[in-house]
Structure 1
Amino acid sequence: MLDWNDYRRQLKSATGELNRLSPGTIQGYQGLATAHKEGGRLDAKTRELMAIAVAVALRCDGCIAVHTDAAIRHGAAKEEIAEALNVAITISAGAALVYSNRVLDAYAVHPSNQPPAAD
């Protein structure tokens, strides 16, 4: 298994390097990352649980490391994190189901499945 604590430290270091090379990019990201504070309708723990679900659905290890840490710091219990994972699993399976229809559609219109052109 991954050493998640070390990975978070590596991400922080790598992000620091990117900040030195492209500070506007990091400033823009930080603006997005803190924009939710203006509305303030969801508490921090709920936002982090949502972030975990999205991180899993998007397969982002860095997001998993950062948002799991933040969720724990905001009081998320293992059972609450498991519920967020259930959402991620359901959404991922649902997306696969929906996109499976696209495969069947692509199959249906494939030239080998079309009647021969009339002469």
Structure 2
Amino acid sequence: MSFLNDILPDTAEAFGKMRDSIFEGGTLDRKSKELIAVASSVLMRCQFCVDVHSQRAIAYGASKKEIAEAVAVAMFIAAGSQIGWTNIYGKNVYDSIFEEKEPEKPGETKGCCCGE
């Protein structure tokens, strides 16, 4: 985060304080927090974060199997979210896709769902 340190030092300092307040102390032990960070990093698709938090988890006693299980939990949440996110309109979008309706003719709609 050197660019933030140079350009926005107050922001960089605040980020560091947030990290310290989350990872130091509290009810969860550091290994558990790092395993949560590994799973979260997978979901955020941050390879750097996965590497850093995996190494920290190992330093705090996590095994390779525990890291693999954290990644598996993230995979499960990612897969399940692809079904659950579709309920935004009061009914499941998949039900809408498969309900009986007149097929659209090519060229009747433009672009994506916004009709542009």
Following superposition, the deviation at residue 16 of structure 1 comes to 1.8
**Separation in 2 of the partners of 1:36 and 1:106?**
39
Rounded to whole Å, the distance in 2 between the matches of 1:22 and 1:62 is 22
Worse-superposed segment, 29-38 or 18-27: 29-38
What is the alpha-carbon distance in structure 1 between the residues aligned to residue 46 and residue 24 of structure 2? Answer: 26
Q: Which has the higher contact order (CA 8 A, sep 6+)?
A: 1
State how many pairs are aligned: 97
TM-score (norm 2): 0.70
Change (3 A) 1:45 1:107: same
* Partner of residue 79, structure 2: 93
Note closer, same or farther for the CA distance 1:64–1:93 as it changes in structure 2 (3 Å cut): same
Q: Deviations over 1:11-70 (max 9, x none)?
A: xxxx12321111111111112111125652111111000000010011112211211111
Matches of 1:83 and 1:47, distance apart in 2:
14
What is the percentage of aligned positions where both structures have the same residue? 38
Q: Which has the higher helix share?
A: 1
**Structure 2 CA distance, aligned partners of 1:96 and 1:69?**
30
Aligned to 1:33: 19
Structure 2 partner of 1:61: 47
Give ranges in structure 2 of 5+ residues lacking alignment. 103-116
- Distance of 1:53 and 1:39 partners within structure 2: 20
Q: Distance in 1 between matches of 2:26 and 2:8?
A: 29
Q: Which residue in the other structure is 1:73 paired with? A: 59
Q: Report the aligned-residue RMSD.
A: 2.6
2:105 corresponds to 1:105 = no
